[in-house]
Structure 1
Amino acid sequence: MEIKDIKYSKIKEILNAIFNPNDPYKSRLDTISHLINDINEIFSIAHYDGHIDKNFINNLKKEFPTSRNFKQKHNIDSRLAAITDDKTLAEFLHDLKCDDKMDLQTKRAIYLQILCVNRPINTTSVKWDYIDFQKEIWLIPANQMKMGYSHQIALSSYAIKILKEQQNFCILDNGFVFAAFNKQNHLHKDSLNKVIINLNNQKYKGKITAHGFRATFCTICSQNKATLLQMGISDEVIETALAHKESNAVKFAYERDRATNEQLKRLMQWYGDYLNNLEPFPF
């Protein structure tokens, strides 16, 4: 169809067919939101080029509730699924270790995600240039970070082993740690969730996500706060490890470092040891 002939009501009809209001767990509202954004980009170009007089696509957002509001209305926890108890976490680590069907590169990426508590996109798109094996540091540039400034990760001995193992078996040499034959040239972030869902006959479907391991880390740190304080690790150090932005705007404007490299190193090594005690790593 010519874009000038596409009517608001027609697009709304198509999106209504996608919306599932009867199952709050499968509403597809996130998909609808993504579709509206994609369609809006096309209509914006047509508007700027003079093919249409008005871009009405953004108004479609008013036709549907947000995913968060829809879940709240149905009393559903809108937070990403995460394991927060040691027993289930130990089971997951055991099942991950014993899985012999999973692509080994993807398995290493999951282990790195668990150990370094990054956002999944930062894990899958990491480049070898970001890794300093000598200083045991992973530095993510500002333009790769959600909050807009660079983030430094202290690598535990376990994370170092994973990276060196991946270095030995890396198939492609395109600069990415988890190189792949796709348009991004690296492992897609959704690949982590797909293999997690399928692990051990979908045992963990709805119970954990790749991003949820950040919540796992935060919960374990909270449960062991007394131990961490004795090690000189405060809440600020934990927040720094998670790359959370300071909520106080004035403090954020002036503050540069909330934790030393040594504190971060102690924290991430302690966390790696904690997980290894639950279920020994295979490396």
Structure 2
Amino acid sequence: MAQGIDPQEQQRQQQEKEKASNNNTFAKITADWFAVKKSKGLTKDTLNNIWRSLEKNIFPYVEGISINNLTAQTFIQAMQPIRASGRLETVRRVTMRINEVMNYAVNAGLIQANPATKISQVFENPVVTHMPTIRPEKLPELMRTLSIANIELQTRLVIEFQLLTITRPSEAATARWDEINLIDKIWTIPAGRMKMRREHVVPLSPQSLAVLEAMKPISLHRPYVFPSFKNPLKPMNSATANMALRRMGYKNILVAHGFRSIASTTLNEKGFAPDVIEAALAHVDTNKVRSAYNRSTYLEQRKVLMDWWGEFVEQAATGKFTAAESVRRIKGESDKLSTIEFK
């Protein structure tokens, strides 16, 4: 008491501090960080992937440890099984997320410094691998294989729709009828469902519209164009196209995301303007002024591009009708789309 400090009060404060510190486990702080992360506008699939990567790879080793007791070595040891399995890309992603959590703890005033800052230097860099795809010359073979594949009609249609609209698997699989304007022939994907968090308008070619026409009897009374097989009120799983491609014999040869590469290669080789192609792929220009220009002026040019691409895909399917065309034939329609000759 000589210095005006009550030893009992000091001891009580110290105990409370230690208790709070012990309660601030890595799992708790990760949950707090994740709550903030969810407000950043990321897609549900992305958020689920982030959480699962930490829950599966890191939590078993460090979830109950107080963040005050975590060291670089703690994390490095926890990462060794992933490294040993050769999943270096997973190591890179998990390391990045660990640092986000620990930086959050620093900024929240829970720890003085992030001990995981340089742990990535211990691990090898992953080899950059591109998603499997095929050359445009192989597209007719793909369309023939698709036409005889033992898969559900709407699985064929979602594959065709993704290919024709040059969208990502998740964007095509979760397309909603209320996003589609059949009069203006455009599909407006809201920012919340786009990878780059920016609204994307897709001009719909006659071939894309044919896919939608084929889906009307199946799903027009539902929210989603391509409903889930298990629960029609939910969208089809974005992995459905990839699973179908594997069953068709394209394992390690082509994935659904590779359709975009086929289109990009074809359109570039045909001589379409690179900026228009990038706009069609929904790639974001880092130049804000140019990005705004792209949005405001490239729509008309992209309509021409998408119509050309739709006819190119249809020609690739010559002799083996697309699923949409097959449905129209069954319905007795005679307005068959014309085929053009490319030089």
Deviation at 1:212, TM superposition (A): 1.5
Hey, what does 2:73 align to over in structure 1? Answer: 9
Distance 2:163 2:305 in 1: 14
Hey, what does 1:265 align to over in structure 2? Answer: 303
Distance 1:158 1:273 in 2: 7
Hey, what does 2:256 align to over in structure 1? Answer: 210
Deviation at 1:43, TM superposition (A): 6.2
Hey, what does 1:31 align to over in structure 2? Answer: 90
Kept in 2: contact 1:172–1:179 (CA 8 A):
no
Residue 278 (structure 2) aligned to one of 239, 257, 279:
239
Deviation at 1:40, TM superposition (A): 5.8
Work out the percentage of aligned pairs sharing the same amino acid: 27
Distance 2:303 2:185 in 1: 9
Hey, what does 1:277 align to over in structure 2? Answer: 315
Distance 1:171 1:10 in 2: 54
The alignment status of 1:81 with 2:135, answered yes or no, reads no
Hey, what does 2:82 align to over in structure 1? Answer: 18
SS at match of 1:3: coil
Deviation at 1:105, TM superposition (A): 3.1
Distance 1:165 1:108 in 2: 8
Hey, what does 2:145 align to over in structure 1? Answer: 95
Identify which range, 142-151 or 251-260, moves more after superposition.
Answer: 251-260
> Structure 2 stretches of 5 or more lacking a match?
1-62, 325-343
Per-residue CA shift, 1:163-214, capped at 9, x if unaligned?
Answer: 23233223993x23233358x9433333332332x233xx322222212111
Kept in 1: contact 2:95–2:120 (CA 8 A):
yes
Hey, what does 1:64 align to over in structure 2? Answer: 123
Kept in 1: contact 2:71–2:115 (CA 8 A):
no
RMSD: 3.3
Hey, what does 1:194 align to over in structure 2? Answer: 243
Kept in 1: contact 2:203–2:299 (CA 8 A):
no
Hey, what does 2:156 align to over in structure 1? Answer: 107
Q: What code does the residue aligned with 2:201 have?
A: Q
Relative distance call for 1:254 and 1:218 in structure 2 (3 A) is closer
Hey, what does 1:178 align to over in structure 2? Answer: 226
Higher radius of gyration, 1 or 2: 2
Aligned residues: 255
Q: What code does the residue aligned with 2:259 have?
A: F
Relative distance call for 1:143 and 1:223 in structure 2 (3 A) is same
Kept in 1: contact 2:153–2:323 (CA 8 A):
no
Kept in 1: contact 2:132–2:258 (CA 8 A):
yes
